[in-house]
Structure 1
Amino acid sequence: MDEQAVEDIEIHLLLEALHRRYHYDFRNYAQASVKRRLRQARELMGLETFSAMQDRVLHDPAMVPRLLAFLTVQVSELFRDPGYFRALREKVVPHLRTYPSLKVWVAGCSTGEELRSLAILFREEGLEERTQFYATDINPDALAAAARGVYPLDRMAAFAENHRLSGAAAPLTDYYTQGRDGAAFDPALRERVVFHDHSLVTDAVFSEMHLVSCRNVMIYFDRALQDRAVGLFRDSLIRKGFLGLGAKESLRFSAHAEAFRDFAREERIYQRQ
């Protein structure tokens, strides 16, 4: 048996151990991406083999957050892909205004950039006070960072330009203050947010959602897991609710595609049939 085959067995057993011991399930994530991230983790942790990593994970719970930091994607921007947020502002918000109260689920919220973008957009469009946001992720450290809402000052110029291109009338500086630790966003933006540990692999739905935004998460799933996630979103949304995906994601080959219609095709926004 060659070295690559042995490594594949080790990775399979490591992912199985992570699932059975801690209930984090990466077994159906896109394997090329998982392998690349695990190799980075092994190198930076100074471990010779994935079997050694498995031993550490099984017997040292403190290893788990470190490993999750490699396996979950935590790079985002405020108003990333501004056209998506402009489409929400111009095309989706008029529909949302017809409801007396709203629920929005940001699935895979990472460190909170997308959540905060939506909270700012909903404030600007007069919907903040009637909206309950649900922000979920499998990484507890990422959820804690999302709740804090403090970002490096050197990212603010790019964030501000994205915000402007999303159709905002006011400057982004209206929403944060500069401090020693970075740009701290208005704490009121999280007053209507519930942060919750949730896995698209194993957990159930959030119900009666008007908008589900899950961007640049499913590209790391295999086809079966993508279908499971879309099924969750379908069951979570009210009739005529909206689903937003990332620029490289689509429902075209999903088993649940017939449950949705294209609403803003270029921006990957769909409406529940």
Structure 2
Amino acid sequence: MDSQTQLTTEELNEIIHLIHTQHGYDFNDYARASLLRRVTRCMNIAGFKTSYELKYHLTNDKSFFAWFLETLTVNVTEMFRDPLFYKDLRDKVLPTLASYPIIKIWHAGCATGEEVYSMSILLQEAGLLNRTRLYATDLNPVNLEKARQGIIPLKQIKDYTTNYIKSGGQNDFSSYYTAQYDNAIIRKEYRECVVFAQHNLAVDQVFNEFQLICCRNVMIYFNHDLQNRAIHLFHDSLSPLGYLALGIKESLLFTDIKQQFESVNPATRIYRRKK
């Protein structure tokens, strides 16, 4: 598929319907423009010229579908992304969570795990990791397997170390991973405290009660209706006065229950559920 070719709206709808009926993944309420760009990108990488070729392989080749889903749903992520957000977690959220005997935190749309491992480091430094249950979920099983392994290319560690320091980190960042060839492997104690599971924000329901939910840079791919449903899901999953953290480009503006939350810091998109 050359760069001048675009799927029509009808062709994209057919692909969304096929994925839903054949594989059970519902992309109907994802933002169409973003989804169109990502499906087109997948076709370019695969060398497909027509939507027919794509539909044929989605129907008949399980390994191709696994690759397609991984490529379609990959989220750009990094450790301690938006350092001021993590500084706010350190200063304004974790001291309050420390009052709970057991702390439960959900990372929704965890991608390959960098943010949940950032959280586990924060919790360790606050002395809270041993009484926290971390849940990390994603639509994509390939993402989850990568996240479980906790393997990060060493070439990214320099930027992650800078982020960590800007977030208020005082320790030697290298103490949190083991270098092995070209990779850094997150230490065992920070991997074993996380429960990884598949969860689809478009269709799945509440599965626990949490004091903090982080869903950062995921809802930018949803249309307004799905964003609203996701915020309802998070509201119902939070304990009273629990915290919700969104991405820097996301907000509660378009949800019909925004009055159920108060802002902790508008700049870092941290909110608190009202009683």
TM bracket, shorter-chain basis: over 0.9
Q: Deviations over 1:192-222 (max 9, x none)?
A: 2110000000101132100000000000100
Report the equivalent of 1:84.
85
Kindly report which structure 2 residues correspond to 1:52-201, keeping only aligned pairs within 5 A, or say none.
Answer: 52-201=53-202
Which letter does structure 2 place at the counterpart of 1:101?
A: I
- Give distance in 2, aligned partners of 1:223 and 1:245: 15
- Deviation for aligned residue 1:46: 1.6
Kept in 1: contact 2:57–2:65 (CA 8 A): no
- Deviation for aligned residue 1:27: 1.5
Report the equivalent of 1:44.
45
Report the equivalent of 1:251.
252
Which letter does structure 1 place at the counterpart of 2:203?
A: T
Q: Deviations over 1:215-265 (max 9, x none)?
A: 000001000000011011000000000000000000022112111111122
Moved runs in structure 1, 4+ residues, more than 3 A?
A: 3-6
> SS at the partner of 1:62?
helix
> SS at the partner of 1:203?
coil
Question: Normalised by the size of structure 2, how large is the TM-score?
Answer: 0.95
- How many residues get paired? 271
- Deviation for aligned residue 1:73: 2.8
Aligned-residue Cα RMSD (Å) equals 1.5
- Deviation for aligned residue 1:70: 2.4
- Give distance in 2, aligned partners of 1:138 and 1:179: 29
- Deviation for aligned residue 1:74: 2.9
Matched, 1:210 2:211: yes
Kept in 2: contact 1:164–1:171 (CA 8 A): no
- Give distance in 2, aligned partners of 1:85 and 1:6: 40
Kept in 2: contact 1:136–1:196 (CA 8 A): yes
Which letter does structure 2 place at the counterpart of 1:268?
A: R
- Give distance in 2, aligned partners of 1:19 and 1:168: 44
Kept in 2: contact 1:14–1:51 (CA 8 A): no
- Give distance in 2, aligned partners of 1:84 and 1:31: 29
Report the equivalent of 1:239.
240
Gaps of 5+ in 2: none
- Give distance in 1, aligned partners of 2:217 and 2:14: 27
When structure 1 is superposed on structure 2, of 43-52 and 120-129 the one drifting more is 43-52
Which letter does structure 2 place at the counterpart of 1:210?
A: Q
> SS at the partner of 1:76?
coil
Q: Deviations over 1:56-92 (max 9, x none)?
A: 1112221211111222133211000000000000000
- Give distance in 2, aligned partners of 1:73 and 1:215: 13
Kept in 2: contact 1:74–1:142 (CA 8 A): no
Q: Identity over aligned residues, as a percent?
A: 41
Kept in 2: contact 1:150–1:181 (CA 8 A): no
When structure 1 is superposed on structure 2, of 167-176 and 237-246 the one drifting more is 167-176
Q: Deviations over 1:80-132 (max 9, x none)?
A: 00000000000001110110001000000000000000011001101100000
- Deviation for aligned residue 1:180: 1.4
Which letter does structure 1 place at the counterpart of 2:209?
A: E
1:6–1:188: structure 2 CA closer, same or farther, 3 Å change rule?
closer
Question: Normalised by the size of structure 1, how large is the TM-score?
Answer: 0.96
